[in-house]
Chain A
């Protein structure tokens, strides 16, 4: 139930306690962000003058006449980086819960994480050796 309805009911106060209030201010913050963003985009279209000109609407590539479209295949290196990123980022996410409880898990947890990290570091070394990290 939205918070403003709870305000009038008068009987459900406990559910408006701290946690929900945080949610309320977050919601307002998100709404503000969206509204300001949309207003800026719309104002941008409305405020300025409109003097259309085919010459002006060409793509700016240093004043040289366009050779072809920019919708072309680009180097596969960028895809490789993206795939590697997913691998390592998932590992980061996997480490997050461990970070909070690592003292409670003690030696056993340390050993398990150590094995995990070693496998991962091994992967990094392998990538390095195969030249996946070279950029040329």
Chain B
């Protein structure tokens, strides 16, 4: 938070923060779509988009224009208002959840004492969007897609929430900036202070649950082109479809950003001292660190999508309830035991 001294400047910075972060997240989406398409092409050994603009860089813009001028079809028998609400309810929670993520040193849209809880609460609202969209379409495939998506998301949310609690126990705070500060230690060995090493089990569970929450392959059973046409968005055209698409990508960015914050040290690096009175340069550096970590995770997301095949639905639900929930309960118990009794060998490896 910038203390410029003048209250008017503070208000100005508060407004600027909100506008810039909002615009930045929306701008990352087309970039990410382009990034994904090029990477997919590279992984599959084909060329990918390279015609529109230099090396195809304007392709996302062309796509947006194309989608905007598509006919907005409302098929017969749909529940009109719920049909319109669906895409909005996927997109809005995904981007609202981003408000508490610290993108730079103490720099976020709003800091609450309950950062993580706010994020989980808002983020889970997108279940409504998928269920509404699927149900309102009056299409059996959409209905199935919407139901699958909501059942999958709520199942994995339990494991996700439990692994988050393990992190909160390690950090003993709910404030995301404090969680980052707690993960910092000087020198190369300070890397081990990151929660991915302190809480390897929680990190693994969170990673898988994040894939399931964002409906990405290998957990994209909601769409599953081979059996459900397009799942919950089969009947959507034009910008409404684009909103579903945007929601998925923003959710992916938010989840990756949360992972960076909770497991990878957020905007800090062990080799860079955290200053108590940060200048503009320090804040810019911290934003750079955060962005680089985010890009690595987004690359991982895309890499997995174009490498792994899709799960079967019964396997998906089985793994969620029979593997990840017991594992995260176990992790929680071990964390509590090691924290209270001081048996540090229970969760962390030998150090």
Contact = CB atoms under 8 A, between A and B. Distances in A.
Interface string A81-119: 110110011001001100111110011011001100100
Contacts of B69: 47-49
Contacts of A61: 139-141, 229
Interface string A1-29: 00100010000010010100111111011
A59 B143 contact: no
Contact of B235 (A7, A59, A96, A134): A59
**8 A-B pairs with least C-beta separation:** A44-B239, A135-B314, A26-B110, A92-B161, A25-B18, A28-B18, A99-B168, A22-B110
B238 A44 contact: yes
Contacts of A85: 154-155, 157-158
A99 B87 CA distance: 35
Nearest to A34: B92
Contacts of A22: 14, 109-112
25 contacts: A3-B11, A22-B111, A24-B18, A29-B22, A29-B109, A33-B95, A40-B239, A40-B243, A41-B88, A44-B72, A59-B75, A59-B76, A61-B139, A69-B77, A70-B137, A85-B158, A88-B325, A100-B174, A101-B172, A102-B169, A102-B336, A117-B332, A121-B329, A133-B318, A135-B318
Contacts of A38: 88
Contacts of B18: 24-26, 28-29, 32
A30 B1 CA distance: 20
A110 B335 CA distance: 11
Contact of A33 (B22, B313, B332): B22
A48 to B, nearest CB: 4
Contacts of B172: 99-103
Contacts of A21: 1, 10-11, 14
Contacts of B239: 40-41, 43-44, 47
Contact of A47 (B68, B147, B166, B173): B68
B162 interface: yes
A26 B99 contact: yes
Most B CB within 10 A of own CB, among A48, A57, A78: A48
Question: What's the dominant secondary structure at chain A's contact region?
Answer: helix
B138 A70 contact: yes
B70 A92 contact: no
Interface SS, B side = helix
B272 interface: no
A16 B10 contact: yes
Nearest to A23: B110
A117 B161 CA distance: 15
Q: Looking at A24, A25, A121, which has the most chain B CB atoms within 10 Å of its CB?
A: A25
Interface of A: 3, 7, 13, 16, 18, 21-26, 28-30, 32-34, 36-38, 40-41, 43-45, 47-51, 54, 56-62, 69-72, 74, 77-78, 81-82, 84-85, 88-89, 92, 95-96, 99-103, 106-107, 109-110, 113-114, 117, 120-121, 124, 128, 133-136
Residue from A59, A113, A121 whose CB has the most chain B CB atoms within 10 Å: A59
A36 to B, nearest CB: 7
Interface in B1-51: 1, 7-8, 10-11, 14-15, 17-19, 21-22, 26
A101 B139 CA distance: 49
A102 B338 CA distance: 11
Contacts of B326: 121, 124
A82 B127 CA distance: 12
B340 A102 contact: yes
A63 B234 CA distance: 13
B109 A135 contact: no
Contacts of B22: 29, 32-33
Given A59-B235, A117-B332, 19 more contacts: A21-B11, A26-B18, A29-B18, A29-B110, A40-B243, A41-B240, A41-B243, A43-B68, A44-B238, A47-B68, A48-B238, A60-B229, A62-B141, A96-B165, A103-B340, A117-B333, A124-B326, A128-B322, A134-B314
B329 A60 contact: no
Interface string B147-175: 10011001101100110011011001110
A81 B154 contact: yes
A96 to B, nearest CB: 6
Nearest to B124: A89
